[in-house]
Each structure stands twice: as structure tokens, then as C-alpha cells.
Amino acid sequence: MSINYGLAMHYRVLGRTGIRVSEIGLGAWVIGTDMYVAHDRERDIALIRTALDLGINTFDTADMYGEGLSEKILGEALRGYDVNVFTKVGYEVGKVVDGRHVQNFSINYIVNAVKESYNRLGRRITLLQLHNPPINIIKDRELHKALLKLVEESYVEHIGVALGPETNILNEGLAAIDEGYEAIMFVFNILEQEPGRTLIRRGVEDSIGLITRVPHASNVLTERQDVNFGPSDHRNLRSRDWVVKALEFTNTRIRPMAKSLGIDLETLAIKYILSYPVSTVMVTATSQRS
């Protein structure tokens, strides 16, 4: 996926936080990792620089991406820039069992993890998000208090919840709003509209920051439509049956609409999301478009 979508950059407000965010943000789960393509530090820096040149002022990462390397590279590349850096905690950095990172939402672990993220980034975290927490963690009042204390101590500016995996998203999102979190992140695109639309309606009512991800439905809503992912690519978790049906629907129903509008699928996918009152859409880029 390329980073330049031919769209003039505009800005919105992240819910009641008052933070001005670019409508398109850079999802930095490709930075410092081999989750999509082989890690290349020079490419990572180039992507970040291109994002800045395009007016992107919002970057989203997590401590477990590259076992902290994503945060470290972002911190170095963005030093001196007045931008928003979001990160996520909840998986133990460096602890993998059966190929998967282990979650840990104990208060002591989370507090220490946030401080380590703060040190790697070299700046206060604009938005700290719990990373794919189950609903009981979202409703944990003591954990919420601990996160607010990190705000008081200036490690963090605002707190939110990154929802996933896609199993109980609606109830988890509504719980996050009810518990007073300031932002939620969730999957939302042309092919996967619910529960995103419901969360958007409720989020607008409560002035919640609405961060969307997976805008191109794992490459289905792109001109290349390369869905033969490598073994380390987490998009392999997609059901092949879903991918086949999504490709057919896209090529018979959505592609003709894009063509009639004179735009490519990538641009239509972004414009669709931004037609809703979301705050920002996180795009994962692996290359720059000349």
C-alpha cells in the first residue's frame, strides 16, 4: 500500500480531547516490524518523512510492534515535530507463546509498560490505548484510575481503547464509552460497516474520539488486490472465504462506482470513511507513491 492518496489533507478534532488530528493518520504497525514486508529502517524513516510532508500529524503504534522498535523509530524520526503520537499497551513485549504475544492488563504491568513506551518515544503520549482488551478489562475501574494517574503524572495526555479482535466489538466499544474512555479505535470500511456505524452514532452523541482502521479491508479495496499474504503477515487471519466473496463484491459493485467517479479504489475507500463523522482513519503504508 502506498502512502499518497492524492487527497488534500484536512483536520478534525478527536472528540472531547480537543486535539487536532489529520483526517488520515499513519498506522505504524509496519514501522520496525516484518508484519507486512521485511523490515527496512531506511524505508520506515522515508515513510514517516513522507507522511509529514503530506500534512499527516497523527501516528499510531503499539509497544509490541517490533518489540518496542516501532516506538523507538517513531520517537527518533518525529523528534522536534509537533505531532500526535498514539500508542497501545496490553501485550507483554518480548513474550510470545505459540506464535502469539501474551496479554497482561495487570495494573503494575500496564503502568511500567506505559513508562517504557514514554521513554522509547521520548515524548508524552498523546493518546494511550488499551490494546484489544476484553470487556472485563474495559470495565475495570481500578485500571482506569491507574491510567488517569498516568495522565496526572504527564506520561499521557488522553486515554482510549483499541478494540479487537473482531468478536465482541460492539459491546466492548459501548462499554469503553460508558466507562469514560476518550477515544475508541475500530475496524470500519465499505465492506465492514457494522458495528462501526453503530459505534460512530453513539460516539458522536458522547463526543468520543473515533479512530478507524483497516480502511482497505486487507487489500481488497485496492487496485492491486494482492491478497496472497506472506507467512508473517497478520492479514492471513482473514477467512479465505470472506476474501473471495469480498473480492467478487468489490469488483462487481464497488469498482464500477469508483470508475464512474474517476477515482481509484483506494481513494474511494478513504473518502467513504471520511463521509462519516469519524476523527481520523489510520492507513498502513508500505511504500511511497511517486
DSSP structure class, residue 254: I
C-alpha cell at 283: 492507513
Strand-pair category, 11-13 with 20-22 = antiparallel
Angle at 3 between CA 61 and CA 124, to 5 degrees: 30
CATH number of 11-283: 3.20.20.100
Distance of CA 68 to CAs 33, 42, 81, 162, Å? 10, 17, 20, 18
**Domain range summary for the chain, segments of one domain joined by +:** 11-283
How far is Cα 149 from Cα 288, in angstroms, rounded to an integer?
40
pTM: 0.93
Q: What residues have CB less than 8 Å from 118, skipping those under 6 apart?
A: 124, 125, 155, 156
Rounded to the nearest 10 degrees, the angle between the axes of helix 196-205 and helix 169-178 is 10
Strand-pair category, 20-22 with 156-162 = unpaired
Distance of CA 45 to CAs 67, 89, 281, Å? 18, 23, 21
C-alpha cell at 207: 463526543
How far is Cα 75 from Cα 66, in angstroms, rounded to an integer?
14
Q: Each residue's pLDDT tens digit in the chain (290 positions)?
A: 555 555 679 999 999 999 999 999 999 988 998 766 677 899 999 999 999 999 999 999 999 999 999 999 999 999 999 999 999 999 999 998 988 899 999 999 999 999 999 999 999 999 999 999 999 999 999 999 999 999 999 999 999 999 998 789 999 999 999 999 999 999 999 999 999 999 999 999 999 999 999 999 989 999 989 767 555 555 556 788 999 999 999 999 999 999 999 999 999 999 999 999 999 999 987 666 53
